[in-house]
Structure 1
Amino acid sequence: MIPYGKQQIDQSDIDAVVEVLKSDFLTQGPMVPRFEQTIARYCGVGDAVAVNSGTSALHIACLALDLGPGDTLWTSPITFVASANCALYCGAKVDFVDIDPATYNMSPEALEEKLKQARESKSLPKVVVPVHMCGQPCNMEAIHALAQEYDFRVIEDACHALGGKYKQEPIGNCRYSDITIFSFHPVKIITTGEGGMAVTNDQTLAERMELLRSHGITRNVTTYGSMGVRESGSKTHPYAHTPIPPYTNTPKHPYIDTPKPAYYYEQIDLGFNYRMTDIQAALGISQMKRLDQFVARRSQLAARYDELLSDLPVTTPWQHPNGSSAWHLYVVRLDLEKMNLTRRQVFEYLRKKGIGINVHYIPVHTHPYYQAMGFEWGMFPESEKYYQEAITLPLFPAMTEKEQDRVVDALKRILPTEHTEGH
C-alpha cells in the first residue's frame, strides 16, 4: 500500500532522539525552547510556544484571545474538526464561511458578505480561523483588512503549511494575524511524532499561552498572584510593626518579604497539560534542518502529478500566484459527469490496487455532532460540492517516481481519457 502521507525519518533524527534519551531531561529540558527558537527564526516571528498537538495549540490560542461563552468563532467547513472544536472547548459558538472553489480556502468574498449580515444582526464573530488547506495560504491580506473593519481577531490554522510562503514571506510570520498554528503529526511537513506550535508577535499572548499549556502554573515572580509565601516564621507587614503569624490570610498589600524559595510556584489560571517533551522537540529540531528539502520534493512531485494527470477528467490543484504551497496534500477533483462513476467507486478501486488515497475533508458542519447544533446540508454549497468530488492522492517526500507512476496508472485504468472510454 502506498500511503497518502508518511514521515521521513533518517539516522540524524534517530541520533537526536537517542541523545535526549541519554540525557538528564526527557520532558521539560533545553530542547523545547531550542525548538521554539528554531521555528520562530524560520518564520520570522517574535515568539513560539510548543505544545503536544496542533489541536492543543488551537485551544490555548482561543483562550489567549479571551474567546468564551457568548462569543462566536468562524472557520472553514473544509478542515479537520479541530479547527471548529477549539471554540467549543472554550464554551463559545461556531459558524462557518464557505470556501473559494479554486483554492479550497475560506472565501474572502463569502466572509465579507457574512460579516455584513452579522453586523446587521449584531452577531459578529470574535475570532476567525482561516485554514491554509493543503498548504496553500489563504488570502490573508483581505482577511486582515476585514478584521480591521469588523473588529475580530485572526488565528491562522497553518497545520498544513509550515514551509509555505505568502507574498514571498514565510507562513507563520503573523503579519496578518494574531496567532498562527502549526501541527507536527507524522503526515505533516515535519514531525515530532505528535506535537504543535503557536507563534505570535504579541508577547502578552505568548506568555498567556505558555501559562495555559502547563496547568496555569508560573514560577515567574513578576506574575505571581498571591502576596507572600506561607512559611513558618514571622513576616513583617509594611504598615505595622507587629509580626504576622504564618499561614494567615494575606492582606491586600504585599509583605516586605524575602525572595521566594527555589521550589515555589503558583497556579494563577486554569491551564492544561499540553506540554511538548524534549524527546519530541529534539526530533523537531532535527527535522527542521530538512524542511526546505521536504517542501521542494513535495513541490516537485506535485508538478509531476499536474503533468501526468493532464489528460484525465480531474481538476488538479490551482495555485494562487501570491502564495507558495507547502504541499501537505495533493487533492484532485473528479469530473463525475465525464466519468460516469461515483467518487466512492474510484476510491474503492484505488484502495484495492494498493493506492492509499484519502478524502480531506468531510465538511465539519455535516457531522452528526454539528448537525445536532442545527447545521444542515445545503448551508455551504461550495464546500459540499468540493467534498463530493475530492480525493487526496499520495504525496510525501520519500515517494519515488515509480510509486507516483503506479498511482497515475491505476487512475488511468479506471478513469476515461482522451484515448479510452473507461475501465
Structure 2
Amino acid sequence: MSTTASEALFARAQQVSPGGVNSPVRAFRAVGGTPRFMKSGAGAWLTDADDNRYVDLVGSWGPMLLGHAHPEVIEAVTAAAARGTSFGTPAEPEVLLAEEIVARTPVERVRMVSSGTEATMSAIRLARGFTGRDRIVKFSGCYHGHVDALLAEAGSGVVTLGIPGTPGVPAHVTADTIVLPYNDPAAVDAAFAEYGDQIACVITEAAAGNMGVVPPHPGFNEHLSRTCAAHGALFITDEVMTGFRAARSGYWEIDGQVEGWQPDLMTFGKVMGGGFPAAAFGGRADVMDLLAPVGPVYQAGTLSGNPVATTAGLTTLRLATPEVYERLSATSSQVQHLVSEALAEAGVAHTLQTAGTMFSIFWGVAEPVADFAGAQAQDTAAYTAFFHAMLDAGVYLPPSAYEAWFLSAAHDPDVDSEPLSRLAEALPGAARAAAAAAR
C-alpha cells in the first residue's frame, strides 16, 4: 500500500499546523505511522490521497449514520447551499431540526450551536445560572469537549495522548469541578453529602464512549437524576456521541425511557449535523428560558443554526427511520461477532462492550470494564499492532484504543457483502499481530 501522497501532505501540514492536524487523535501519535489524508468517501468506504480504499469503521467519529455522501443528504445540502450559505438571521431549517430533536427526545426547548464543546460549555453555564451555584460534578474518563472546567481527568484525545493534567488551564478554573469514578453511586452520595447545596449540576456521558465504550450500570443514571433532584441540582446527559446513534432517540431511549427518568438538560452533536459542524443543547422549558434573549444567561454564535448544516442534520434524521436502526444494529452485531471470534481464535484476551449500536474492545482485559481505571488497564500495544494490520488490509479503525467503533447504514449486515468480506479477510492476520504484540 503506497502512502507517498499522504506522507507528502503530512510533511506540508506540519509546517503550517501544530502536529500537522486540526484535531489531535488524527495525528496517529497513539499508534504511530503516517496519518491517511482522505480525499473522498462513499457509503461504507473512504479513499485516500494515494487512491487506497478502506472500509470505514470510524464514520467521522460518529456523524455518518447513513454512510458517506448519501445521495439524498447531498442533494438537500446542495440545494441549501445554492440558496445561501449563511444569513445571520433565523431560517426555517433550524426550526425544523429543533422540532425533530424535541419530537425524538425528552427536551422541550433547543438552542443550536456549532460544536459539542459549545453545547456542553453552554449547558454548564446555564445550569450555574439557573441554580446560582458554582460546583459541578463530572466523571473520570468522560469527555465533554475541550471546555477548561471539564478537561479534568477527561477521556478521548486527552487519555490517548497521555497528557498529564490540563496544561493551560489555571487551577482555579477546575477548582469547582468535582471528579468522581464512573459507575460509583456511593461516591456520588458522598460528594452530595459534603457539597450538596453548592453543586449546580452533574454532567455525564449518557453512556461513556470516550474511554472506550463503558455503559452505565443499570440504575446509575437514574440514581444521578434522583440525587440531583433531591439536592436542587440539574442533571445533564451528554449525548453528543450517543444521540441518534446508540438508538433512534439516543441512549436515553435505552436507559432513561426504560427506567423512567429524564435529564434536565441534554447535549447533542455529531449525527444531528449530518457531517457538518452542528450541535445543540436542550432541556426543560423553565431552564432553557433563562437563556438570552428571554432570560439573563448569555450565549450566542454567528454560525449557530447555519442553514446548510441544519439542512444536513434534518435530512439525516428524517432518513434515520426505525428500519435504519434495525439494519445498523444487525451490522454492528455481525461485526462484533467477527472481531471477537477472530481475537478468541488467536488467543487474544479481550472484552467487547456495547452501548446500543456503538461498541469497542478492551485489549488484554478479561473482565467487564466499569470505569476509567479499568479502561486504562488495557494493552494498547496489542491494539496498535491490530490497527496497523487492519489498515494495511484496507480497514480504517480509530487510531486509538480508547475510542468507539462506528458503523453506518451503508454497511450491509450480510457477511458476504464487500465491506464485511474485506473485514473478515483482514481479521485473522490482524488478530495474530495483536497476539504477537500482547504483553
Q: TM-score per shorter chain, which class? A: 0.5 to 0.7
Instruction: Give the whole-Å Cα distance in 2 for the aligned partners of 1:203 and 1:81.
Output: 23
**Structure 1 contact 76–97 (Cα < 8 Å) conserved:** yes
Task: Give the partner amino acid of 1:37.
Answer: E
User: What is the Cα deviation at residue 169 of structure 1?
Assistant: 7.7
What's 1:144 paired with? 225
Q: Residue 271 of structure 1 is aligned with which of 291, 299, 317?
A: 299
Instruction: Tell me the SS of whatever aligns to 2:290.
Output: helix
Is 1:301 aligned to residue 331 of structure 2? Answer: yes
Alignment correspondent of 1:282:
311
Match of 2:320 among 291, 299, 314: 291
Look up the match of 1:396.
408
Offset of 1:116 from its aligned partner? 1.1
Q: Is the 8 A contact 1:136 1:326 kept in 2?
A: no
d(CA) in 2 for partners of 1:197 and 1:335? 37
Q: How far did 1:136 drift?
A: 8.0
1:298 counterpart SS class: helix
Unaligned stretches of 5+ residues in structure 1: 100-106, 212-217, 224-267, 320-324, 361-386
Q: Does 1:348 align with 2:377?
A: no
User: Pick from 182, 191, 199: which aligns with 2:268?
Assistant: 182
CA contact (8 A) 2:222 2:256 kept: no
Q: Distance in 2 between matches of 1:81 and 1:340?
A: 23
1:127-184 deviations in whole A, cap 9, x for unaligned? 2111123488644212212223444321100112222354668879994211011112
Amino acid at match of 1:31: P
Query: Is contact 2:119-2:280 (8 Å) kept?
Result: yes
Compared CA separation, residues 149 and 359, structure 1 to 2 (3 A) = farther
Q: State how far apart, in whole Å, the 1-side matches of 2:380 and 2:118 are.
A: 43
The answer for unaligned runs of 5 or more in structure 2 is 1-53, 152-168, 367-377
| Separation of aligned partners in 2, 1:205 and 1:174 | 20
Q: Deviations over 1:389-420 (max 9, x none)?
A: x5644523323443234334433214259xx9
Residue 81 of structure 2: aligned partner = 21
Equivalent position SS for 1:299: helix
Q: CA deviation at 1:40?
A: 0.6
Matched to 1:51, the amino acid is V
Q: Could you tell me which amino acid in structure 2 is paired with residue 403 of structure 1?
A: P
Looking at CA atoms only, which structure, 1 or 2, has the larger radius of gyration? 1
> What is the TM-score of this pair, normalised by structure 1?
0.63
Q: 1:4 to 1:208 in 2, by over 3 A?
A: farther
Residue 113 in 1 paired to residue 141 in 2? no
The structure-2 alpha-carbon separation of the partners of 1:52 and 1:130, relative to structure 1 and needing over 3 Å to count, comes to same
The AA in structure 2 aligned to 1:12 is E
Query: Retained in 1: the 8 A contact 2:351–2:363?
Result: no
CA contact (8 A) 1:160 1:182 kept: yes
**2:57 alignment counterpart:** 4
State the one-letter code of the partner of 1:191.
Answer: G
Q: How does 1:219-238 map to 2 (within 5 A)?
A: none
Identity of aligned residues (%): 11
Q: How does 1:129-140 map to 2 (within 5 A)?
A: 129-131=203-205, 132-134=207-209, 138=216, 139-140=220-221
Match of 1:156 in 2: 237
Could you tell me which amino acid in structure 2 is paired with residue 344 of structure 1? T
Residue matched to 1:72: 135
Change (3 A) 1:43 1:169: farther
Give yes or no for contact 1:336–1:342 (8 Å, CA) kept in 2: no
Counterpart pick for 1:82 among 137, 141, 145: 145
> Which residue number in structure 1 is paired with residue 423 of structure 2?
407
- Letter matched to residue 281 of structure 2: A
SS in 1 for 2:57: coil
1:179 aligned partner, one-letter code: L
2:119 corresponds to? 57
Offset at 1:196? 0.6
1:97 CA drift (Å) = 2.6
Cα distance change of structure 1 residues 353 and 79 upon mapping to structure 2, 3 Å threshold: farther
Structure 1 stretch displaced more, 342-351 or 55-64: 342-351
CA contact (8 A) 2:387 2:430 kept: no
Does the 8 A contact of 1:316 with 1:332 survive in 2? yes
Secondary structure, aligned partner of 1:41: helix
Q: Tell me, in whole angstroms, the C-alpha distance in 2 between the residues paired with 1:208 and 1:160.
A: 26
Please state whether the residue corresponding to 1:276 is helix, strand or coil: coil
Change (3 A) 1:26 1:137: farther
Aligned to 1:227: none
How many angstroms apart in 1 are the aligned matches of 2:435 and 2:136? 47
Count of aligned pairs: 320
**Post-superposition shift, 1:330?**
2.5
User: Cα offset for 1:50?
Assistant: 1.7
Distance 2:258 2:101 in 1: 9
Residue number in structure 2 paired with 1:126: 200
| Change over 3 Å in CA distance of 1:49–1:121 after alignment to 2 | closer
**Aligned partner of 1:199 among 269, 276, 282:** 282
2:35 is equivalent to residue 35 of structure 1: no
Displacement of 1:22 in angstroms is: 4.0
Q: What TM-score do the two structures reach when normalised by structure 2?
A: 0.61
Corresponding residue for residue 29 of structure 2: none
Tell me the distance in 2 between the aligned counterparts of 1:207 and 1:277: 21
> What is the alpha-carbon distance in structure 2 between the residues aligned to residue 392 and residue 315 of structure 1?
15
